[in-house]
Structure 1
Amino acid sequence: MAEALGLDYWLQWQVLVCALIILIPAVISLNLTIKTSKKQVHQKLKSCDLWLPCWKNLHPKWLLLYRVIAFCFMALLLCQTMVSFGPFIFFYYTQWTVALVLVYFMIGIIVSARGCWIYFKEPFGRVEDREMLVAKDYSKNAHESTTDIKDVGAINSIQQEAGALENLMQSIYHACGGAVMLTDLVFWFILQPLSGDTLTILLGLLHSVNVVFLVLDSAFNNHPFPWSNFTYFVLWSCAYVISQWTVHVFGVVTWWPYPFLELDTPWAPAWYFGLALFHIPCYGLYSLLIKAKDFILSRMSPRTYSSLPSESTEMNIAWSMDNTQ
């Protein structure tokens, strides 16, 4: 074990300022997350939102297959990174993010597999049936008026609210959306240009496939991406920084994985505050990608692309009625 940093190091004025920059957003985010969960301000997430593709004619098995491929590739990449650089590679935010995306795809495989089982068990002969099933505000009246749907029991099985696993998957998804942007933007536009080190294929893949795989998943999934879930991204980053401070306090390591985490400089508060603010455009950029996907594809292919779950039922019903005429 490395020698712990001295008490003088932790009593510097900038350490207290940086601690406040970390703790204040963490406490606020945690408080907002708990309040949102208790009050249930937003529409309740449905189980089918996490495994039913946004493309009307696309079978859920293809989303499952994609998630299996993404999981296997990223798991192989992470293992290769550990073999090449050792276990201390997990002191870096990049590996934390890759591991988080890996967990997302792992849970996604379980959720998609369960969804495919329901889909195979309760076959839907018409695209209209599926459109009614994915309607976010599907009501009892709509249920009673749609007597030609093949199996009413299938509606109940798919329209059930998301369980603990689905909600966990959705929370991780929002943390990943901001984290992959933060990881790759910092690496490609700050760390790599300043370091001048030779870029290897492994490092290049490590700082690109995370966002590529997640964006491709977003292109096919039906997840909502509200700004209210920005708190999960903030909590994830705060957890990383707090873990770094903890291992330094106990002398596990004395070196910082990133130069902007170093506290023994009067510029530390500026770095910490700048990175804290940078979380907003990172999350906003991913949110913009989701909105752009919905805006562009719904107009390029309105008869095959289904809007996000936040859209009204009337749009889905109108599409179904128009398709049957």
Structure 2
Amino acid sequence: MALVVYWYDCICFGIVAAAFLGSLWVLWRKEAASRCEDDSVYESLIAAQQDADGFVHATPTAHVGSNQLWTSCWKGVHPGWLVLTRFVSFAALAGFLSWDIVDWDASIFVYYTEWTFALVMVYFGLGTVISAYGCWVCLNTPLPENGARAEFLKSDVEESRTENSVTYKENNVRDKIRLQSQRAGFWGYLMQTIYQTCAGAVILTDIVFWCVIVPFLSNSHLGLNTLMGCMHTLNAVFLILDTLLNSLPFPWFRLAYFVQWSCLYVVFQWVLHACGFTWWPYPFLELNTPWAPLWYFALALVHIPCYGMYALIVKAKNSILPRLFPHAFVRSY
């Protein structure tokens, strides 16, 4: 057994356990409590079931609308562009990850970077499928029932103030409200969860790589080269590009998923070392030093500013862009 436990390691275990349990409590308070109380069954995994009038009975605090998964925040931009962007991002990331595996084999997944990189790939892959499905639904739904098509593909031209025009506007508003009230299903919430987990994890991996590993902890794998430079740059570039195009919300409480993702990786490292693995991919995860509790506590705290940095990007998007492009931009929330 390669993992020797010292008394101060119990503090590290406690820090990780407290972070994980705390994130579970946050999700229980925010995510689970905000779900609809009805006993209805999903019509599909993309959208939740509606009532007879086409409305979902309740709009939860953590609401993710099914149309937000595949529509752009820019008026007049066809949802197909979001499909194309996500597919190109997925293909590019898959190429770099394949390059990494060919160079270092599958053991490369002992690194948090590869975990996060693969998760970003999953987001873009799932996003491509859901976006394509949304476009298909949009194009095959009759126009009066298709609020998204009316909102994102029509020209919004008002020809007169007649009674017919007023009636059309009222019906159009009702269509939009109906669509926006349609709660995303399992795959939709999974996509939203992965998106917000990736947001924090990408910032964390890139900051640690460029500010800590490259200047101080460079080695044969983590040294600065073309592959590592691209992997620690393009992950953030593609995700931010998607953020500038998508309509997904970004509530703060889903920081909990990011914390759980990191906790899962740390436990994975502990299990590896308990099974005989002797080498730590990141020196600040080592347990055989009295400074370990301080390192673990610092790593737990750094999740907040990393997630906060991405939250600021989303906030700037929804605050600045509407002022610069008042007739072209639609707030995501």
Q: Indicate whether 1:283 and 2:307 are aligned.
A: yes
- 1:9-52, Cα deviation, whole Å (9 max, x unpaired): 21x11210100110101011012213323310615211001111
Alignment match of 2:12 (pick from 8, 12, 18): 18
Alignment-derived partner of residue 233 in structure 1:
258
| Distance in 1, Cα, partners of 2:118 & 2:67 | 25
* Separation in structure 1 between the aligned mates of residue 180 and residue 29 of structure 2, nearest angstrom: 28
1:243 alignment partner AA: F
1:47 matched residue in structure 2:
66
Cα 1:76–1:269 change in 2 (3 A) is same
Measured in 2, the distance between the counterparts of 1:155 and 1:184 equals 39
Alpha-carbon offset, residue 87 of structure 1: 1.0
Pair 1:111–1:196, CA change in 2 (3 A): closer
Contact preservation (8 Å) 2:86, 2:127: yes
Query: Match of 2:2?
Result: 5
Q: Secondary structure at the match of 1:255?
A: coil
Runs of 4+ in 1 over 4 A off after TM superposition: 123-128, 154-159
SS in 2 for 1:273: helix
CA displacement 1:198-227 (0-9 Å, x = unmatched): 521001011111111101000000111111
- As a proportion of its length, which structure holds more helix? 1
Q: Structure 2 unaligned runs (5+)?
A: 35-59, 155-166
For 1:24 and 1:43, how far apart are their aligned partners in 2? 24
The amino acid of 2:262's aligned partner reads S
Q: Which residue of 2 aligns with 1:112?
A: 131
* CA shift in 2, pair 1:195/1:269, >3 Å: same
Deviation at 1:196, TM superposition (A): 4.7
Secondary structure class of the residue paired with 1:207: helix
Letter in 2 for 1:189: C
Percent identity, aligned pairs only, is 43
CA contact (8 A) 1:230 1:283 kept: yes
Q: Does 2:241 correspond to 1:244?
A: no
* Equivalent residue letter for 1:239: L
Secondary structure of the 2:72 match is: coil
Counterpart of 1:129 in structure 2 is 150
Counterpart for residue 52 of structure 2: none
Superposition TM-score, scaled by structure 1 size:
0.83
Does the CA contact (< 8 Å) of 1:57 and 1:127 recur in 2?
no
How much is the aligned-residue C-alpha RMSD, in angstroms? 2.6
- Kindly indicate whether the alpha-carbon contact (under 8 Å) linking 1:118 and 1:157 is maintained by their aligned counterparts in 2: no
**Counterpart for residue 23 of structure 2:** 29
Among 192, 198, 207, the alignment partner of 2:232 is 207
- Is 1:296 the counterpart of 2:320? The answer is yes
Q: Cα distance, 1:166 vs. partner?
A: 0.2
* CA distance, structure 2, for counterparts of residue 38 and residue 288 of structure 1: 25
Q: What residue number does 1:221 align with? A: 246
Residues 163-174 of structure 1: pairs in structure 2 closer than 5 A: 163-174=185-196
Cα drift, residue 151 of structure 1: 11
Verify the 8 A CA contact 1:71 1:102 in the aligned structure 2.
Answer: yes
Contact 1:104 1:172 in 2 (8 A): yes
How many Å separate the matches in 1 of 2:124 and 2:84? 11
The corresponding residue for 1:313 is none
Alignment of 1:173-192 (within 5 A): 173-192=195-214
**Partner of 1:160 in structure 2?**
182
Partner amino acid for 1:306? V
Paired residues in the alignment total 292
Amino acid aligned to 1:130 = E
